[in-house]
Structure 1
């Protein structure tokens, strides 16, 4: 998350809500290849698919925090633009999720409208891999800031990948090769805002879902992110909050990692609800860097060593490429059907 100065601008996160039990891992130790920290990373990716990554104390981490604070402040200004201006860059869900999405254009599980607006910036657009997309002048004027965040976030994830490759007995660099920055993909930086509520008026703002891609880095200050613990039934009382921590990012795995690892790794169900306690009266801003596979990447499981199970006789493997697979899942999410019977290792 951003540093404490951003947290001090909002009411404190309450102490009387159910919290997810997530490990807090140190980027500094992972960069030093600390064996215990590496084993804890692998354990978190198998058991919950979520963990907190402490970015303080390392050059790469502090740079990432600087990027996040700059973009966090920019996002507030972007969402403060006139609605007519933002609507000029409206996203088209049948094509991609880049551009502006206003509140209410996606559905929740019960068919009611969502309560989140977002602006999605494509990596290909920002880094020049594709023809530039139209964006507000404010974004164009700060292109270098967004480029820095794409590069720095990708570098951190590549290091996390290297630890997972070791524990999965995979060829070094294979995961990064499936998500390169110089080839077309749906990788994006998504700036999100949920409207404030009356205190005590609890509701779901964004449908329960798993992320489609490989890995997500999330920054937020106000609470509201919840996950459904592994093996827990999808009922209201089982959802728990993730408490934002200054200097940390929330890291979670996406469905691609489940596919590639043959189910060894977990992509956990999560959602956004009304912030708890006094924070409900605040707008909830967040940033999500969503790393997705190269468009042409295979979604077949990876081979190597004896950790990832081999395809059983008679078992049908998914033959879709990443682009086809993501289109299918995106259509499900927009329609409010984001939770198949089994997803990310969880029965829902």
Structure 2
């Protein structure tokens, strides 16, 4: 397979070689909207343990899994069955089922009305511990990436800290079942952009992820086992007036026998606090790049608008 042109960087350099690291990371995101991050400190054991719990859940009978589906909940928590989510503008639903873990917040929090409590499958005893452990680790890693991106566009390092500390972030274990019929019109995940600030993808177990380059080519991006793929979402694209592009990507069906293997992946969608106002940063407006979004919008308002478009609400 061709070597991906999308850069992979070691985030430990943020502590040892900060200026050069910030410049290289920022350049990668301006060009691709994607980068690989290694040296992140999340152990193989932690990732493997979480995947093991997720796979045991997806192996449960359909009627057991459906106990955890919340009708009308927009998939915010618990289980979303196969054949529901559809990429914006796509004719065919994606070939996947998934589970959503959200932030654990006090039920008297001002965000409680839009951030419901988590559901946990009682059939998988360690699901909660493994899933929320991974949630916390990815939340912390995402904050470090945002610190570097903030510095790259002239903001204070801690700019995002108080804007994401009760963010409506989601950990989404996904199961793409084996594809057993030839010539299905659907793909595992149709071409789309993510809604949130940044997405961290841990341990994609098979190839299939492709990223659309600025020249319009689909570039495969299968990261090494020790690498977490981190990409820009639409909220950060809007906030930075497209300085950081939210790049279209998809998960294609593998050829031949590989299609008969299941695929598991776990993205973490890092969101701002629900009441954060997404208003174009003045530092990202120039004569060459005038503001594209004169009207600000809250993170929650933007999220709800987008969930309707992808058939989750």
Q: TM-score, normalised by structure 1?
A: 0.78
Q: Which has the higher contact order (CA 8 A, sep 6+)?
A: 1
Q: What corresponds to 2:229 in structure 1?
A: 250
Aligned counterpart, 1:113: 93
Could you say which residue in structure 1 is the equivalent of 2:281? 302
Q: Sort the Cα spacing of 1:124 and 1:301 in 2 relative to 1 into closer, same or farther, 3 A.
A: farther
Assess if the C-alpha contact under 8 Å between 1:127 and 1:147 holds in 2: no
Cα RMSD (Å): 2.9
CA contact (8 A) 1:64 1:149 kept: no
Change (3 A) 1:221 1:31: farther
Contact 2:191 2:248 survives alignment (8 Å): yes
SS at match of 2:225: coil
Q: Is the counterpart of residue 214 in structure 1 residue 207 in structure 2?
A: no
Distance 2:7 2:294 in 1: 33
Q: Distance in 2 between matches of 1:157 and 1:128?
A: 26
Partners of 1:44 and 1:93 lie apart in 2 by: 39
Q: Output aligned runs, 1:186-197, within 5 Å.
A: 186-197=168-179
Q: 1:20 to 1:127 in 2, by over 3 A?
A: farther
Higher mean Cα deviation, 129-138 or 153-162? 129-138
Cross-structure match for 1:67: 46
Q: State the 1:196 CA deviation.
A: 1.5
Query: Could you tell me whether the CA contact under 8 Å between 1:68 and 1:149 is conserved in 2?
Result: yes
- State the number of aligned residues: 304
1:25-44 residue CA offsets vs partner (Å, 9 max, x unmatched): 11222332443332110011
Contact 1:199/1:281 (<8 A) preserved: no
CA contact (8 A) 2:278 2:296 kept: yes
Separation in 1, partners of 2:163, 2:64: 36
CA displacement at 1:231 relative to structure 2:
4.1
2:188 aligns with 205
The match for 1:341 is: none
Q: Quote the offset at 1:291 in angstroms.
A: 0.5
Give the deviation of 1:269 after TM superposition.
0.6
Asked if structure 2 preserves the Cα contact closer than 8 Å seen for 1:116 and 1:194, the reply is yes
TM-superposed deviation, 1:186: 2.7
Structure 2 runs not aligned, ≥5 long: none
The 1-side partners of 2:90 and 2:242 are apart by 29
Q: Which residue of 1 aligns with 2:303?
A: 326
* 1:28 corresponds to 2:8: no
Question: Does the C-alpha gap of structure 1 residues 138 and 52 become closer, same or farther in structure 2, counting only changes over 3 Å?
Answer: farther
DSSP 3-state at the match of 1:251:
strand
Return the offset for 1:209.
1.1
Partner deviation per Cα, 1:108-129 (whole Å, 9 max, x = no partner):
5552232111111112369996
Structure 1 residues 93 and 332, CA gap change in structure 2 (3 angstroms): farther
Structure 1 residue 86: Cα displacement:
0.8
- 1:62-211 superposed matches below 5 A: 62-92=41-71, 95-107=74-86, 109-124=89-104, 130=112, 132-138=117-123, 141-180=126-165, 183=166, 185-197=167-179, 203-211=186-194
